[in-house]
Amino acid sequence: MRVVAIQMTSTEETNEKAAETKTGGETHSFQAEVSRLLDIVANALYSEKEIFVRELVSNAADACDRLRYRAITEPALIEGDTDFRIAIEVDKDARTLTISDNGLGMTHDEMIENLGTIARSGTTAFVEQLSGDAKKDVSVIGQFGVGFYSSFMVAETVDVISRCAGSDEAWQWSSDGKGAFTMAEAQADGRGTRITLHLKEEQA
């Protein structure tokens, strides 16, 4: 198994840097003081903790919309699985809440970019690439930014397993929301993203 550990740190430089470590892993630096910003998002940005459900379901819907749009010109991406869906699973004994979809999914680099950078919106970048009437077709796509981090209002740790449509590779992103996250190879039966929240005892 190849495991990549990414440490979120502060930097005054305007560009994100990636450097190879002696162990072959990757270290990524960010402009923001990420630990502090995560704390603000998790504890002060939203007045109602339940809002995280809306944010995660909205992201899942966006992923389905993006794949639906891509499939217009690349129908092979949804071959054998044309019924888009979002599922919510609760395991009271394990104290987990899982939200999954069979949308576009993310590659290794997209997970680092979208989940490892505060307020970086993969969806926004996608829309910006469109022009003319194409933008109208995806007008329902929202922002994939700080909303994801609302998960840490109720979760001790969050695991995200994603497999991009058209790819055989799946990756797992894991974090406790305190400024660092890890990446590791994973297994996924099909395309899409599966987010598992390991709930805090007092939030169960």
pLDDT at 148: 84
What is the C-alpha radius of gyration for the chain, rounded to an integer number of angstroms? 17
Q: Given the structure tokens 């004994």, which residue do they identify?
A: 93
The 10s digit of each residue's pLDDT in 84-117 is 999 999 999 999 999 999 999 999 999 988 887 6
Among 49-58, 101-110, 132-141, the range scoring the smallest mean pLDDT is: 132-141
pLDDT at 46: 67
User: Residue 80: left if φ>0, alpha if ψ -120 to 50, beta else—which one?
Assistant: left
Taking the C-alpha atoms of residue 16 and residue 31, their distance in angstroms, rounded to an integer, is: 7
Q: Which domains does the chain have, with CATH numbers?
A: 48-203 (3.30.565.10)
Average pLDDT score over residue span 168-172: 96
Taking the C-alpha atoms of residue 49 and residue 154, their distance in angstroms, rounded to an integer, is: 7
What's the N-to-C CA distance of the chain in angstroms?
A: 32
pLDDT at 160: 96
Taking the C-alpha atoms of residue 114 and residue 143, their distance in angstroms, rounded to an integer, is: 11
Helix (H) or strand (E) holding 161: strand 155-163
List the structure tokens of 69. 């749009």
Taking the C-alpha atoms of residue 170 and residue 100, their distance in angstroms, rounded to an integer, is: 14
Asked whether the predicted pLDDT for residue 45 surpasses 50, the reply is yes
Taking the C-alpha atoms of residue 164 and residue 175, their distance in angstroms, rounded to an integer, is: 20
pLDDT at 36: 64
What amino acid is encoded at 54 in this protein?
R
Q: Which of 38-47, 145-154, 184-193 has the highest mean pLDDT?
A: 184-193
List the structure tokens of 199. 């709930």
